Structure 1
Amino acid sequence: MGGNPDQFVRFVNVQKSYDGETLVVKNFNIDIAAGEFLTMLGPSGSGKTTCLMMLAGFETATHGDIILDGQSINNVAPHKRDIGMVFQNYALFPHMTVAENLAFPLRVRKVPQADIDAKVKRALEMVRLESFGSRRPAQLSGGQQQRVAVARALVFEPKLVLMDEPLGALDKNLREEMQYEIKHIHENLGVTMVYVTHDQSEALTMSNRIAVFEDGIVQQLATPAQLYEEPENAFVAGFIGENNRLGGKVTSVNGVNCAVELDGGAGIVNALKVNVDGVNERTMLSIRPERVVIDPEDGRYPNRCEARVEELIYLGDHIRARMTVSGNSDFITKVPNTQRHSQLKKGEMVRIGWATEDCRALDAR
């Protein structure tokens, strides 16, 4: 390895414009460690796939430098970057058998035939398709084809593997199964992976770190737990997991906390001061549904207010209750399916509460 293992992949001040005017990637900087599983997550058009294509060599950066293992690859052809690639549509050769598909990148690299046979066998074992080598892609299920695509990206032992929404065409159950499959392959091989998806649950399941994109900018780069528990702005809070939003105005600041007067005259609550500066500033409070308590005990939950039950959905282990709180009719709570709280009724007024540390005062977007 030629460079710093903590900076195995580097984007340095990278920008991308297709028309010379509008930037689809704006001053992108990131370091990816060797062996890391990093996911680029964001909605369509946020710039995540463009960053992956620039790393693969299929797009050229308008400005900045992309470095792989200590060497700039801006002017290196895609096939010389030693990068494995998995596409959403699998991109398997239909006229070749599975074994021939896996052998193809090895033949291009002029690997001896004896080594090709051994590497193909090992790759098939890795994705649990040992008996499928003689089949053609059309004879495989979608999940099996995706396994072959993953094996083909890994068979020549690349420095880096890139995956562009590889599970998007699969049904829900198969997609979840393949998430764990890819995660385990990564853990077993220790290869560096960069993964692109718009599915936040997929990113949370698989990644060491996640870069959340919006409008060509990384809004936050952190571990899955940090993104969920400690979102830095309203976009990240809303994009990662389910999130309740309450608007209001900051009335006072006390160290790391602030007091917020809720819209609609629902009272004043306390929150962590995350992305607001001072008194009279507008803010959007972020509270995760599972942190909201029905009938809170006196003294334990300083934030308390009235809520009207609008809808109840039975989900087995919990009841999803949609409520109106401070004028927001889409305030969600997840009520454990216990005898005490499972008797909620549509239309009734209840008291809810939450802890100050579970309420984050973010930008009012």
Structure 2
Amino acid sequence: MSAIATSGAQQPTASAASDTIVSFRGVQKTYDGESLVVKNLNLDIRRGEFLTMLGPSGSGKTTSLMMLAGFEVPTHGEIMFDGQSLRNTPPHKRNIGMVFQNYALFPHMTVEENVAFPLSVRRVPKHEQKDLARKALAMVKLEGKENRHPGQLSGGQQQRVALARALVFQPKLVLMDEPLGALDKQLREHMQIEIKHIHERLGVTIVYVTHDQSEALTMSDRIAVFNDGIIQQLDSPTGLYETPQNSFVAHFIGENNILNGEVTAVDGAFCKVRLNGGTEVTARAINIKGVGSRTSLSFRPEKVLIEGINADHPNQLPARVEETIYHGDHVRVRMTVAGSEGFTVKMRFRASRPIPVPGEEMAVAFAAEDCLALDPV
């Protein structure tokens, strides 16, 4: 179920409350007493889900995670964990696992000692520490590395050790702050799948922070998109990509084209929009203010047609090819559409079909369902 997190969020029902493990209630954070880094955050995190806090630098996502971990204190509001307020609970008593971007491993300890460290802090008997640490290492496929030191491991292996250490004491909640940021692209993509599989096996609740929208789409059950200290949209990966609720989300999640215009008519879930060049098209009315208001139309590159267009197609615009880039399975065609530059179309590549050439005049078309009328940019 999609939802928008706002300051006026309704109180959860009894059944929803029992399914909630973390609840931010009117949480604010300021460092200088003037500007709010996090603005009136209301967010319920479901038990067992993988929730990602996604946004650009300075959007408030990491600060929100650090307040949940206990490394930052809310200026206002309250954070509840499993029905209890965290207001007076220090970080080491929150029973929350934490994975950092820089791993934060102890270089003088062996891999097994690093993983067992949270158990020793909790005064688990020595013989149990060894058994639990080895089980955690097996879970992240690091059997046989118990006696090595972090410096003898690759970056991916060190990240696995950090993950095992966060899971070894069987916390109800694991927080991950940009944990794959230091890895190369191929290893990062591999670790995304590994973490997703571990989450599925264990059923532990994971709250994950990243600025990488592809990473968020790959791993998450739900994604909270942050900007300027506010959750812009809270939804499933499919919901965010297919139906962004405002222009920021549309541009931040995946590739996106925009055309600006004015709303001329509204008919239920759809509206008519006159583009700056004078052409009128039909779009889904997602976030508009009514007839006469300005709007930005949002299109995904893969949903725009540049071939096989019927002459009577209702949403058809003139275009000129500026550049084509071959990507193997598809061709990226950059165009000027209805006088607007930088419009991109993804065309599936077929050897039997000629690739458009720069300077070629043609038409583009799209279904009204695939064109979203959003707030102006």
| Among candidates 153, 161, 181, match of residue 166 of structure 2 | 153
What is the alpha-carbon distance in structure 1 between the residues aligned to residue 354 and residue 348 of structure 2?
Answer: 7
Partner residue of 2:130 out of 101, 107, 117:
117
Equivalent residue for 2:335, pick from 293, 298, 323: 323
For residue 296 of structure 1, report the CA deviation from its aligned partner: 4.2
Distance 2:18 2:84 in 1: 13
Give yes or no for contact 1:314–1:320 (8 Å, CA) kept in 2.
yes
Residue type of the alignment partner of 2:292: N
Task: Tell me, in whole angstroms, the C-alpha distance in 2 between the residues paired with 1:206 and 1:119.
Answer: 26
Match of 2:285 among 255, 269, 273: 273
Aligned positions of 1:162-241 closer than 5 A? 162-241=175-254
**Cα distance in structure 1, aligned partners of 2:31 and 2:25:** 19
Q: Match for 2:63: what amino acid? A: T
Give the Cα–Cα distance (whole angstroms) in 1 for the partners of residues 167 and 21 of structure 2.
18
Percent identity, aligned pairs only, is 64
Cα root mean square deviation, aligned:
1.2
Equivalents in 1 of 2:313, 2:64: separation in Å? 44
Distance 1:274 1:86, change over 3 A: same
AA of the residue aligned to 2:340: N
2:139 counterpart of 1:100: no
Change (3 A) 1:208 1:300: farther
Equivalent residue letter for 1:310: E
| Distance of 2:309 and 2:169 partners within structure 1 | 60
Q: Partner residue of 1:17?
A: 30
CA–CA distance in 2 between the matches of 1:341 and 1:226?
33
Deviation at 1:74, TM superposition (A): 1.4
- Alpha-carbon distance between aligned partners in 1 of 2:312 and 2:112, rounded to the nearest angstrom: 62
Counterpart for residue 356 of structure 2: 344
Q: Distance in 2 between matches of 1:343 and 1:43?
A: 36
Q: CA deviation at 1:340?
A: 6.1
Q: 1: CA distance between counterparts of 2:222 and 2:353?
A: 37
Unmatched segments (≥5 aa) in structure 1: none
Give CA deviations for 1:60-111 in whole Å, capped at 9, x if unaligned. 0001110000000011000000000000000000000100001111001000
Give CA deviations for 1:213-253 in whole Å, capped at 9, x if unaligned. Answer: 00000000000000000000000000000000000111111
Contact preservation (8 Å) 1:99, 1:133: yes
**Which amino acid is 2:254 matched to?**
G
Q: Distance in 2 between matches of 1:246 and 1:4?
A: 42
What residue is the counterpart of 2:298 in the other structure?
A: 286
Residue from 303, 328, 347 that aligns with 2:315:
303
- Deviations 1:286-312 (CA, angstroms, capped at 9, x unpaired): 010000001343278421011111110
What secondary structure, in the 3-state scheme, does the structure 2 residue paired with 1:134 have? coil
Distance 2:335 2:285 in 1: 25
Contact 1:251 1:261 in 2 (8 A): yes
SS of the equivalent of 1:54 reads helix
Structure 1 SS opposite 2:26: strand
- Supply the distance in 2 between the matched residues of 1:162 and 1:130 (Cα, whole angstroms): 24
**Aligned amino acid, residue 297 of structure 1:** I
Q: Counterparts of 1:5 and 1:132 in 2: how far apart (Å)?
A: 40
Question: SS at the partner of 2:234?
Answer: strand
Q: Does 1:144 align with 2:154?
A: no
Amino acid in the other structure paired with 1:336: R
TM-score after normalising by structure 1: 0.97
Q: How far apart are the structure 2 equivalents of 1:144 and 1:46?
A: 30
2:366 aligned residue: 354
CA distance in 2, matches of 1:262, 1:6: 46
Give the superposition deviation at 1:327: 2.4
Q: In the alignment, does 2:147 pair up with 1:134?
A: yes
Deviations 1:128-177 (A, max 9, x none): 00011110000000000000000100001111100000000111001000
Larger CA deviation: 158-167 vs 288-297:
288-297
Amino acid at match of 1:257: F
What is the aligned partner in structure 1 of residue 90 from structure 2?
A: 77
Please list the CA deviations of residues 298-337 of structure 1 after superposition, one character each: whole Å capped at 9, or x if unmatched.
2784210111111100011110000001222110100111
2:276 corresponds to 1:263: yes
- Judging changes above 3 Å, is the alpha-carbon distance between structure 1 residues 300 and 190 closer, same or farther for their aligned structure 2 residues? farther
In structure 2, what is the Cα distance between the partners aligned to 1:132 and 1:61? 40
Aligned length: 362
Q: Which residue, 61, 66, 71 being the options, matches 1:58?
A: 71
Gaps of 5+ in 2: 1-15
Q: Which amino acid aligns with 1:207?
A: S
